[in-house]
Structure 1
Amino acid sequence: MSQKEIVYVLSDSIGETAERVVKAVAVQFQEEEVEIRHTSHVSKKEDIEETIQKAKSEHSILVYTIVVDHLRDYLNKRAQEENITAVDLLAPLMEVFVRKFEREPSHTPGLTHVLDEKYFRKVDAIEFAVKYDDARDIDGIKKADIVLIGVSRTSKTPLSMYLAYRGFKVANIPLVPEVPAPTELFELPKGRCIGLVITPDNLNAIRKERLKKMGLQANASYAQMDRILEELDYAEKIMKRIGCPVINVSNKAIEETANEVVDILDL
C-alpha cells in the first residue's frame, strides 16, 4: 500500500470550505490516498509556524482560507521561504469581488459559519411552526418564542410561517368558544403571547370567500355574523385574561403584522 499524501488545511474559522474543496480535488486522484490534517481557528503566527514546520518535514501541500491580512501574508512569506506549496483558495475570487464591487472586504473570519447557523435556526423555526400549527400539540406553547392566539381566519398560520422564516419559533392557538383555552396560555411569562383580532365585517368577508373556495354554502354558521361576534367576544375575554398585547390584522399585510409583533415583543 502506497503512503498517503498529506494536505494541511488551515483556516481562521472552522475550515469546512477548504476541506470540501480539497476533497473535491482529491477524489480525482483516488481520495483514499490523501490524508487531510486540520489547523482550525488560526489566530496567531505561532499557529501557522507549527503547521509550516510539519508540512516542510512531510513535503506536504498547504491549502488555506485565511481572511485576516497579516496572517495570510505571514503564511505566504513562510511558505515561500521553506519552499512549500501553499494554495490560497479565497484570494483569486476575493480580488474579483474587490474590482467588481469597488470596495474592500471586511476581513472578518468565521462569517460563513455565522450564516450557516442562521440558516439552520431558520429551518428549525419553520419545522417548529409546522409542528405546532393550529394547536396540533399544546406543548409548543411553552417552547415557543412567540405564541399567536385568535379566532379562525386571523392569519395565524401564514404569520407563524413568516415569523419562522425570520428565525422565530412560533406556535399558534385558535380560540373557539366551545373549546376551553389551554391552561398553558395563562402560565406564559409576559412578552411571549400576541392576540390577533379583526373587524367583524372583514372576518365575515374572509370566511364567506373561504367557504366558497371549499364549495360550501356561504350562509353556513361559520360565516354568520352572530357566530362571528360570539367568537370575537370570547377571544377578547381570553386575551384580557392573559393580558397579552393585541394587534388588529384587518386589511394588513402579513409583513406589516410580523413587524408589529417583533416590535411589540421587543425581539
Structure 2
Amino acid sequence: MDKLNIIVASDSVGETAELVARAGLSQFKPDQCEQDITRYPYIESFENVDEVVQVAEDTNSIIVYTLVKPEIRKYMETQIREAAIKSVDIMGPLMRILTDELEEKPFYEPGLVHRLDEAYFNKIEAIEFAVKYDDGKDPKGIAKADIILLGISRTSKTPLSQYLAHKSYKVLNIPVVPEVTPPDNLFDVDPNKIIALKISEEKLNKIRKERLKQLGLGDSARYATEQRIREELDYFHTLVNKIGCTVIDVSDKAIEETANDIVNIIDQNNFSDLKKEIDS
C-alpha cells in the first residue's frame, strides 16, 4: 500500500476519533507507507454523511467515526455498508452497552465531553485565582474577580475563597485592617460583587484567643483584646457603609452555609443587573 487514508468523522470536533486513529497508527512503523488523516467535524445531517462517504470512496479511505445521534449513526452505518467501505464505529458499541447496563436513555448530545473538560479547567483556573489573590496580595485581581470578600482577621475569608473556587467562582479576599488603606480600585467595581463578612465581638474574641493558644502565645495579646476587636469592627462597618455592599453575619455559620448564601446573593445580583440591562 502506497498511502493509508483515514477519514475521521464526528458530530463534535472529532478529537476523540482522531486520537484513537493516531493511537492505532502509532503501533506500526511510520515508514511502512504514507499516512493521511482528514477530519470532518460537526456531522449533523444526512448530506454531511453522504459527503464523507463519497470522499472515502474516491480516496479509498477508512472511516473512523464518533456519532452520538442514533439516526445519523444508523444512516452512516447503512451508507458505509452499501459502499463497502472499511470503518470503525468508536461510539456506537459503547453507547449500546452503557444504555443496557444503566437502563437509561442517553442525552444523545454531541460535544458533552468537551463541555465537561471546559468546566474542569474553569474550576482549576478559579482555584489558582483564589490562591494568587488571597489575603489582598495583588489588587490588580479586583477587576477580574467574580466575588470579592471583605473581612477582618479570622472571618474565614481564605477557606470561603477556596470553597467558592471549587464552584468555579473567581474569588479575591481583602483583609480589613484599620492601619491599612484599602486598594483604590476597590471603590471602582460594582458593589454587588462585594460581600462583607461580619462577626460578633464575642465570637471573634473566642476564636482569636484560641488561635493565639495554637501559636503558643498568651491570650492577652492585643490581637485578641476587646478594645482591638472593637476598633477593627468599627473600621469594618465604616468601610462597608462607604462601599454599600452586602453584609453577611458569619458568627454562627459553617463555611458551606456562608458559601451558599454568597452564591445566592451573587446570582440574584447578576440576575437583577441582567434584567435592568434588558429593560433599558
Distance verdict in 2 for CA 1:30–1:204, change over 3 Å: farther
Contact 2:139 2:183 in 1 (8 A): yes
Distance verdict in 2 for CA 1:80–1:214, change over 3 Å: same
Aligned to 2:74: 73
What is the letter of the counterpart of residue 227 of structure 2? D
Aligned to 1:24: 23
2:105 pairs with 1:104: yes
1:118 and 1:253 map into 2 onto residues whose CA distance is: 26
Mind listing any 5+ residue stretches in structure 1 that lack a counterpart?
none
Aligned to 2:275: none
**CA deviation profile, 1:149-198 (whole Å, cap 9, x unmatched):** 01011111111111111111111100000011222222221311000011
Paired residues, number:
266
Residue 31 (structure 1) shift: 5.2
Structure-to-structure mapping, 1:115-126, within 5 angstroms: 115-126=116-127
1:42 and 1:56 map into 2 onto residues whose CA distance is: 17
Contact 2:73 2:92 in 1 (8 A): no
Contact 1:56 1:84 in 2 (8 A): yes
Aligned to 2:266: 265
Aligned to 2:14: 15
Residue 263 (structure 1) shift: 0.9
Aligned to 2:183: 182
Higher mean displacement: 72-81 or 216-225: 216-225
**CA deviation profile, 1:102-159 (whole Å, cap 9, x unmatched):** 1110101111111111111111111111111111000111111111001011111111
What is the letter of the counterpart of residue 34 of structure 1? Q
What is the letter of the counterpart of residue 25 of structure 1? G
Query: Root-mean-square deviation (CA), in Å?
Result: 1.5
Aligned to 1:3: 2
Aligned to 2:60: 59
TM-score, normalisation: structure 2:
0.90
Aligned to 2:84: 83
Residue 242 (structure 1) shift: 0.5
2:236 pairs with 1:223: no
Structure-to-structure mapping, 1:93-242, within 5 angstroms: 93-242=94-243
Residue 87 (structure 1) shift: 1.3
Contact 1:163 1:258 in 2 (8 A): yes
2:114 and 2:187 map into 1 onto residues whose CA distance is: 39
Distance verdict in 2 for CA 1:204–1:79, change over 3 Å: same
1:92 and 1:209 map into 2 onto residues whose CA distance is: 60
Helix, strand or coil: the match of 2:264?
helix
Identity %: 50
Distance verdict in 2 for CA 1:109–1:31, change over 3 Å: farther
Contact 1:23 1:31 in 2 (8 A): no
Residue 211 (structure 1) shift: 2.0
Mind listing any 5+ residue stretches in structure 2 that lack a counterpart?
271-280
What is the letter of the counterpart of residue 92 of structure 2? A
Residue 57 (structure 1) shift: 2.3
Contact 1:11 1:64 in 2 (8 A): yes
1:114 and 1:75 map into 2 onto residues whose CA distance is: 25
1:85 and 1:108 map into 2 onto residues whose CA distance is: 26
Helix, strand or coil: the match of 1:46?
helix
What is the letter of the counterpart of residue 73 of structure 2? R
Higher mean displacement: 5-14 or 214-223: 214-223
Residue 240 (structure 1) shift: 1.1
2:64 pairs with 1:38: no
2:189 and 2:165 map into 1 onto residues whose CA distance is: 20
Helix, strand or coil: the match of 1:7?
strand
Residue 199 (structure 1) shift: 1.3
2:142 and 2:182 map into 1 onto residues whose CA distance is: 12
1:237 and 1:88 map into 2 onto residues whose CA distance is: 66
Helix, strand or coil: the match of 1:178?
coil
